[in-house]
Amino acid sequence: MDVPQLEDLGDLNGRRVLVRCDFNVPLAGGVITDDLRIRAAVPTLRFLVDAGAHVTACSHLGRPGGSPDAAYSMGPVRARLAELLPGVELLENLRFDPGETADDPGFTERLIEGHDVYVNDAFGASHREHASVVGPPRHLPSAAGRLLAREVEVLSGLRDSARHPFVGILGGAKVSDKLGVIEALLDVVDELIVGGGMCFTFLAAKGANVGSSLLEEDLIEDCARLLDSGAPIRLPLDITALGPGGKIGDPSAGGEVRQVGTSMPDGWMGLDIGPGSAVEFCDVVADARTVLWNGPMGVFEDPRFAAGTRTLAEAVAECRGFTVVGGGDSAAATRQFGLADAMDHVSTGGGAALELIEKGDLPGLAALRGEHGSAGN
């Protein structure tokens, strides 16, 4: 991706720079529970500050619905940012104004007023055609921040120059969220492991009874088509399931937990890959020279159904090849299990990572290249 870099902006001393960051951090009772996304922006912000620029950061936080909401105030983020980089200003939540998600030109003009330069370091938002992402490059000299540039370098490299064997691992809830990326990955991977809730639609396409497991009936034919094509898709051999009366996240509610095959009794719900599947998947990962993992193998937040995700995460961490975790829940899982530092790259944007792999571009990147009528590049 030939997007302009920070060095392309020239002398920044005394210039006012607007930086779109992704500070959409998790909060509990107004307290930040994971500041990774704030810390990830520090290299870009520090470069600008050291260059003599006056830096203003902006970001969204949650989904406040286009109007001010104290629950989504940037106050906690502003306080943490001030600890890391005193002097960097932070605007209030961009999504307090409906013009942000509508890509309203008027909102863009208000946002960039008084600024000389724009930097996009919000990879996790760059698949959105929002005013703060695609608007400023139409008016200001613009560039990619360090985080955005690194994400693009790594993820584009998976499409174009990955070392083989290349193993893709996809989990999460729904096939519908990832059908496009499944088809894109099948063009480049040697094997594609499918787990999580999405595996049950594939298993149903093979004739398995998936009980009360998550199932997208309207996509069974698509899954069957992919399987019948001879694509190198590897599905679970066994499942960890919860019996009738059980409740996800509440072991005290009862319900038997049992290892079953790929067909399960009526009323049972598959919530993790089984131990046999975990061993087989880990063997595949061990031989890989490139691994892309996006999506957990089960409901890892419930300790009864965390083993599959944990075991696979450990295998990816131990793999000698180049390992990429594609953001979202899989990134959260690596942090929960204390394995994030063992991965070569943990993306800050799950949806953006998948869209870049699937489509090869993002609206935010196209805007930086001046492909949306940018006046500044």
Residue 60's pLDDT is 98
> Does residue 23 form part of some domain?
yes
Do residues 88 and 189 both lie within one domain? no
Active site residue 37: yes
Question: Which string of DSSP letters, residue by residue, matches 261-329?
Answer: -SS--TT-EEEEE-HHHHHHHHHHHHT-SEEEEES-SS-TTSGGG-HHHHHHHHHHHH-SSEEEE-SHH
Q: Could you report the per-residue pLDDT of 165-196, keeping only the tens digit for each?
A: 999 999 988 898 889 999 999 999 999 999 99
Q: Which of 351, 360, 369, 370 is catalytic?
A: 351
Is residue 13 a part of any domain in this protein?
yes
Decide if 54 is inside a domain: yes
Look at residue 35 and tell me if it is in a domain. yes
* Residue 171 and residue 284 in one domain: yes
- The predicted-structure confidence for 32-42, as pLDDT tens digits, reads as follows 998 989 999 99
Do 132 and 191 lie in one domain? The reply is no
Does residue 119 fall inside a structural domain?
yes
Domain match, 74 and 173 both: no
The whole-number mean pLDDT for each consecutive block of 10 residues of the chain, a chain of 377 residues, reads 92 98 93 92 98 98 95 97 96 98 97 98 96 98 97 90 95 89 93 96 96 96 95 96 94 91 94 97 97 95 96 97 89 91 91 90 96 46
Report pLDDT for 376: 34
Find the catalytic residue in 99, 328, 364, 376. 328
Q: How far is Cα 80 from Cα 60, in angstroms, rounded to an integer?
A: 15
Q: How confident is the model at residue 373, as a pLDDT? A: 42
Give per-residue pLDDT as tens, 244-259: 999 999 998 888 999 9
Selection from 283, 252, 253, 257 nearest residue 268 by Cα: 257
247 classed as catalytic: no
pLDDT given for residue 160 in this prediction: 83
Q: Is 347 inside any structural domain? A: no
Decide if 185 contacts 192 (C-beta within 8 A). Answer: yes
Give me the count of residues in the chain.
377
224 and 120 assigned to the same domain = no
Q: Quick one: pLDDT at residue 372?
A: 57
Is 174 one of the annotated active-site residues of the chain? Answer: yes
**Do 171 and 314 have their domain in common?**
yes
State the total domains in the chain: 2
Here the CATH number for the domain that contains residue 262 is 3.40.50.1260
137 and 174 within one domain? no
**344 belongs to a structural domain:** no
Catalytic residue, from 78, 174, 258, 304: name it: 174
**Residues 129 and 274 placed together within one structural domain of the fold:** no
* Same domain (yes/no): 36, 122: yes
Name the residue range of residue 245's domain.
Answer: 164-320
| 119, 168: one domain | no
Question: How many Å apart are CA 307 and CA 23, to the nearest integer?
Answer: 30
Same domain, 48 and 179: no
Four-residue CA torsion sign, 238, 285, 347, 233: negative
**252 and 180 together in one domain:** yes
Catalytic residue among 15, 20, 37, 95: 37
Does residue 272 sit within a domain?
Answer: yes
Q: Which two tokens stand for residue 198?
A: 């999405």
For residue 233, the one-letter residue type is I
The answer to whether the CB of 200 falls within 8 A of the CB of 193 is no
